[in-house]
Amino acid sequence: MKLVLLGPPGAGKGTQAVKIAEKYQIPHISTGDIFRKNVKEGTPLGVEAKKYMDKGALVPDELVVALVNDRLAQEDCRGGFLLDGFPRTVFQAEELDKFLKGEGKALTAVVDLRVDEDELLERMIGRRVCRSCGAPYHVKNMPPKKEGVCDHCGGEVYQRADDTEETVKNRFLVYKEQTMPLVAYYEKAGCLLPIEGTGGPERVFGAIVEALGQ
C-alpha cells in the first residue's frame, strides 16, 4: 500500500496514521513529526523549519521534497508507506509523482479526512501532546489523569507552539489556499477516497479500512 493522508489541521491524520501503519505494516512518515524532532534537537533543519511552523506557514517546498525523497528511498519503504502531512502543495504532489514514476510505482490511494472547521478549532486549541512519547490528549475530552503528566510514560504533557488560536486560524487559511487544490488534483488522478472524519477515531478507522477494501 502506498498511501497519502490528506486533510486540514486537526482532521485526525496523526491519529489514523498510527492505526493504518499498524494494520497494513507500512512505515508512517509524518513530515510534521520529522520537523518537530529536528526542532527539539536544534538541528539546522529544525532551526529553519521553526521559523515557518510557529507562524502556521508551510516550510519551503525544496526542504520538504528533499527530505521526503530521502525517506522514501529507504529500504523499509519498498513494500509501501503512509505519508501523513505530505504532499501539501501541488508542487510537492508533482514531485512525489515524479519520484514514484522513477521507481515504477504509483499511489494506491489518497485518504482525504473531512471535518467542519468549528470542530477542528475545538480539537486543536484543546489538544495537548506528550513531549516524550507523542500520546495525544485533549483538555476537555481526554485529559491526562494527572495534569501535565503523561498517563503512559510520565513525560511532560504540553501544548504545541502552533496550537494557539491565532496560529491555528492561519494554518486553516494556508490549508485552504495551498493544500485544498490537492483534492481536485487527486480526484482527477482517480485515487481520492473522501472519508467523514467525525464520530470518534474507531469509526473513522473502520470507514478508511472499508474504503481501502483490503
Beta carbon of residue 148, minimum distance to ligand AP5 (angstroms, whole number): 16
Strands (E), 81-208: 81-84, 109-114, 127-130, 136-138, 157-158, 192-196
Residue 140 to residue 127: CA distance in whole angstroms? 9
State yes or no: residue 144 binds ligand AP5 (CB under 6 A). no
From 3, 29, 45, 53, residue interacting with ligand AP5 (rule: CB under 6 A): 53
Nearest alpha-carbon partner for 134 in 150, 120, 145, 146: 150
Enter the C-alpha cell of residue 88: 501539501
Nearest alpha-carbon partner for 65 in 43, 89, 82, 41: 89
Q: Which of 19, 71, 131, 160 is catalytic?
A: 160
- Judged by beta carbon, residue 2 or residue 13, the one nearer ligand AP5 is 13
Expressed in angstroms, the distance from the first to the final Cα of the chain is 10
Residues in 12-41 that interact with ligand AP5 by CB under 6 A: 12-15, 31-32, 35
Per-residue binding string, ligand AP5, 66-105, x by CB under 6 A, is: -------------------xx-x---x-------------
Name the site residues for ligand AP5 (rule: CB under 6 A).
7, 9-15, 31-32, 35, 52-53, 56-59, 64, 85-86, 88, 92, 123, 127, 136, 138, 162, 171, 197-198, 200-201, 204
